[in-house]
Amino acid sequence: MDNYRTEVNIPISRDKRTFEQRRKDMLSNLERSYSKHSRTDIHKNSSSESSIPLSESTIGGSNRHISDWDDEVNRWISETRSKWSEDMKRMRQSMFALEPVDDFDLDHWGNFEPIHSLDDPSTMMEQMERRMESLRQKMGTMSSFGPSHFSGPNSSTMQTSSSRITSSTSHSSGSDPKNLVTKSNVVESTQHTRTVDGETTTTSSHSSSSSNTSGLPGSKINLTNTPGSLITQTSVPCGMMDFLKDAYELGDDGKVHFKVRFDAKDFLPEDIEVTTVDNHLRVHAKKSIKSGNSTTIREFHRSVDLPRSIDHENFQCHMTEDGVLILDAPVKAPDYRTITFQDDRQLGIRPRAESEIKATPNSNKTPVCLTVTGCSEPTIMKDGINGRKLHLEVTVDPIYKADELCVRMDSNRIVITGCQKKTDAKSTSTAEFTQSFEVPETVDPFSVTAQLIGTTLVVEAPLLCTV
């Protein structure tokens, strides 16, 4: 939290290129920097260095080499080229829209009586409900509110040969909230394929289970002041943070950057003010509307929560010729040993092997070994004094190594995948699995720590509502 105390004004640079041309130029520059020819020349040199200035901390003590990141970059470029039209459509549809300030009734909130901390709880709730109802009424009439939500491309699908789907529903009987019943369903399947002389055979298994629990929602399991104790799992809607699954991509320098885009085609750069304060990015714009002899000035605003994994003080802002406002910030000290991009170019994290972590126990660059607690479902745990973190344990088949596993976030789901391919002179076999877990709050993909301890994949990440 201490890093977010200062308000920073971000200057806007005018780019005479369109959004599409700017992105094409970025890909062309990356292709020149990461061409196979240049990489071959680099690796022939015994004192070779990466074409991007990765720090020693990102590659030392790992069995994943600099060339692996070069391969990731080239694969990202190739897939971006092949899905160009789909990506452009998705990015334009998912841009943040600047909303009129008066549509949120902000100017009239002062008409409500102030809420004091010593008020009766029922009185406080009534006042808050009146304010929220006013906001809901305004939001319900806004035709432009829909596009402000982020979602993936409609045509995007994830092909998997194994899945675990967890769903839960709650209902209460009578007026007593203690009668609330939660029903959980888990469906898991695993599929293995083997191809021999062009003939493919498939084996699969399927299982399902359900459970019912009664009690208050989000009931406390065990709460102490000790970090690591289990605490209330309160579900928080994360729709407004869905953009995080697509916010990380390569920048002009070949490193991972955090990028958000705003539809500002109705504004000039001088009409817009961009600032960061605390952990928020704020875009404020003014527009003069002339009607006859009168001029009306309307204000537009949008605020976006920022993850703590990015460098808030080094944002760059560009406005393209066709009115796309692009905010770009580097990621703070990313560990390129663990970063990968999935087929949809969403950021994924490869877990560290237990042996790798224990090999350098005294290094400040290596995370401490996570703890296996035996809990099979996502758990919210205390993290330090005021923090909270997600803790998840998944048992994986012993055939999978750490570098064959991947952890990624998809809105309020954490997705675990594994893929192992074996090829010999006569056959090729592939084993794959996917497990998906609902989590109560959005998790920043770059804050995820994943380790394979024995046959247990342990995943931890701080919750965004904490930072």
Reported as a single tens digit per residue, the pLDDT across 104-140 is 444 444 444 444 444 455 555 655 665 565 566 555 5
Whether 332 is covered by a domain: the verdict is no
Q: Higher pLDDT residue, 437 or 52?
A: 437
Whether residue 325 has pLDDT greater than 90: yes
> Helices 84-93 and 19-33: crossing angle, nearest 10°?
130
DSSP H or E run through 10: strand 8-10
Total number of residues shown for the chain: 467
What pLDDT, on a 0 to 100 scale, did the predictor assign at position 329? 94
Q: Is 265 left (phi over 0), alpha (psi -120 to 50) or beta?
A: alpha
* Residue 146 pLDDT: 39
Whether residue 54 lies inside any domain: the answer is no
For 424, the domain range is: 152-239+346-467
Domain stop point among 124, 148, 172: 148
Nearest residue to 257 via CA among 195, 318, 168, 184: 318
Are the beta carbons of 308 and 447 closer than 8 angstroms?
A: yes
Mean pLDDT of the chain: 71
Q: Answer yes or no: do 443 and 360 share one domain.
A: yes
pLDDT at 459 over 90: yes
Tell whether 431 and 353 lie within a shared domain: yes
Distance CA 115, CA 119 (A): 7
Q: Which residues pair with 456 in a beta bridge?
A: 395, 453
Same domain (yes/no): 369, 397: yes
pLDDT at 361 over 90: no
The closest alpha carbon to 280, from 247, 307, 311, 315, belongs to 307
Where residue 261 falls among pLDDT bands split at 50, 70, 90?
A: very high
Calculate what percentage of the chain has a pLDDT beyond 70: 59
The contacts of residue 113 (CB under 8 Å, 6+ apart) are 127
Classified as helix, coil or strand, 106 is: helix
Do 122 and 189 share a domain, yes or no?
Answer: no
**Does the pLDDT value for residue 252 go beyond 50?**
yes
Q: What does the pLDDT read at residue 397? A: 93
Confidence of residue 204 (pLDDT cuts 50, 70, 90): low
Is 294 part of a structural domain of the chain? no
Regarding whether 464 and 352 lie in a shared domain, the answer is yes
Look at 21 and 36; give whichever has higher pLDDT: 21
Question: Does 218 lie in the same domain as 174?
Answer: yes
- Using alpha carbons, select from 380, 403, 410, 388 the residue that is nearest to residue 457: 403
User: What is the pLDDT, as a whole number, of residue 295?
Assistant: 86
Q: Cβ distance 342 to 37 under 8 Å?
A: no
For residue 289, being part of any structural domain is answered with no
* DSSP helix/strand/coil, 16: coil
| Run of H or E residues at 351 | none
The reported pLDDT for the residue numbered 275 is 94
The token duo for 397 is 């088949």
Say yes or no to pLDDT of 39 above 60: no
| 381 has pLDDT over 80 | yes
Say yes or no: 377 and 447 in one domain: yes
Residue 342, judged by CB atoms within 10 A of its CB (0-12, 13-18, 19+), counts as: middle
- 435-457 pLDDT, tens per residue? 998 887 778 888 889 999 999 99
Provide the token pair at 317.
């802002």
393 with 467, same domain? yes
Flag whether pLDDT at 257 surpasses 50.
yes
Burial class (CB in 10 A: 0-12, 13-18, 19+), 198: exposed
pLDDT (average), residues 359-379: 73
Residue 43 — very low, low, confident or very high, per pLDDT cuts 50/70/90? Answer: very low
Strand segments, DSSP code E, in 143-231 are 163-171, 181-196, 199-214
CB atoms within 10 A of CB 240: 13
Structure confidence at residue 222 (pLDDT):
34
Is the domain of 396 the same as that of 371?
Answer: yes
Is the pLDDT at 424 greater than 90, yes or no?
A: no
Is 45 among the domain residues? no
How much is the average pLDDT of 143-169? 36
Give the three-class secondary structure for 20: helix
If we measure between CA atoms, which residue out of 348, 262, 343 comes closest to residue 83?
Answer: 343
**Confidence grade of residue 25 (pLDDT, cut at 50, 70, 90):** very high
Q: Looking at the structure, tell me whether residues 110 and 190 fall in a common domain.
A: no
Q: Tell me how far apart the alpha carbons of residues 396 and 80 are, in angstroms, rounded to a whole number.
A: 31
Q: What is the mean pLDDT of residues 27-39?
A: 75
**Helix (H), strand (E) at residue 237:** none
Instruction: Check residues 39 and 261 and name the one with the higher pLDDT.
Output: 261
Could you tell me if 125 and 165 lie in one domain? no
Is residue 301 within 8 A of residue 283, CB to CB? The reply is: yes
DSSP character at residue 466: G
Q: Give pLDDT, residue 388.
A: 84
Range name among 8-22, 24-38, 394-408 with the lowest pLDDT average:
24-38
As a whole number, mean pLDDT of residues 257-275 equals 94
CATH number at residue 175: 2.60.40.790
User: Which residue type is seen at 399?
Assistant: I
Neighbours of 460 (CB within 10 A): 21
Does 328 fall in a domain? no
Q: What is the pLDDT, as a whole number, of residue 111?
A: 40
Task: Examine the domain organization and report whether 184 and 116 are in the same domain.
Answer: no
**Where residue 205 falls among pLDDT bands split at 50, 70, 90?**
very low
144 or 190, greater pLDDT: 190
Among 331, 441, 325, 329, smallest CA distance to 378 is for 441
Higher pLDDT: 32 or 12? It is 12
Q: Contacts by 299-302 with C-beta closer than 8 Å and gap 24+?
A: 299/100, 299/101, 299/102, 300/98, 300/99, 300/100, 300/101, 300/267, 301/98, 301/99, 301/101, 302/96, 302/97, 302/98, 302/99, 302/148, 302/262
Number of structural domains the chain divides into: 2
pLDDT band at 227 (very low <50, low <70, confident <90, very high): very low
206 in any annotated domain:
yes
> Is residue 458 in some structural domain?
yes
